[in-house]
Amino acid sequence: MLLSAEEIARILRVGNDPLVITPAPNPDELRNSGAGAVDLRLGTWFMTPRHPRIGVLEVAEGRVSFGVEDEIMRRHYVAFGERFILHPRAFVLAATLEWLRLPRSLAGYIMGRSSWGRRGLIIATASGVHPGFTGCLTLELTNVGEVPIDIRPGMAICQLFLHETKGSTVADGSGFVGARRPALGRIELDRIARALRKPGAT
C-alpha cells in the first residue's frame, strides 16, 4: 500500500522502529499537500568522473578493478547559496540533504520531479530504498537536455514514495547504508556470474 503524505506525517518518529527524515519535513505542510510522497532536497556533495584517468571500468572479482573510488571520481563540495552547473550529457553523483531511516515495515523509491524532468534532468536510475535503510540517498544526475542546468544545494530535487512491506525484511550490510555523501559503490559478482567467468563455462 502506498502511503499518503498525511500518513507519512503521522508516523514520523513514532514507535520503537520509527521512520526518520532529518531535516524533518513540516508535518502540517505534508498533511495539507494531498500528495503521495515527500520531497527530498539536494545536498552539498557531488562526484564527477575523472575522464582522463578512465579507460574502461572493468569488473573484477567483487569490485571495480580500475582502482579505488577517489581514482575514478572527483569530489566537490558546493555550499548553500552556490550553484553546480550540470552540462548536457554530463553524469554526476549527488546525495540528498536529508538523512533517512526506514523501519523494517517500509520500503520506498525515489522519482524525479516532473518540473525537472521536463527540463531534461534525470535524478536516479537505481531508485529502490530497502526496508531498514539508513543514510543519505545517492542520486545519479544526468542532463539529457540541450542546455546546461543550474542546480543548487537545498532545492527540492526528488520525491520519496513509501510502501508498506509484508514479512520480516531489513537492508543488507551494503556500503551505502549509513552514507552521508554520494558513493560509487562496488560491482558485486554473484555465484552464477563468477562460475560463468571460469574457462570452459557454457
Distance CA 97, CA 142 (A): 18
Distance in angstroms (rounded) separating the CA atoms of residues 65 and 197: 15
Which positions are annotated as active-site residues? 140
Backbone angles phi, psi at 117, to 5 degrees: -60, -35
Indicate if the alpha-carbon torsion angle 62, 67, 69, 74 is positive or negative.
negative
> 114, 119, 67, 76: which is closest to 95 by C-alpha?
76
> Are the beta carbons of 64 and 92 closer than 8 angstroms?
no
Q: φ, ψ for residue 42 (rounded to 5)?
A: -75, 135
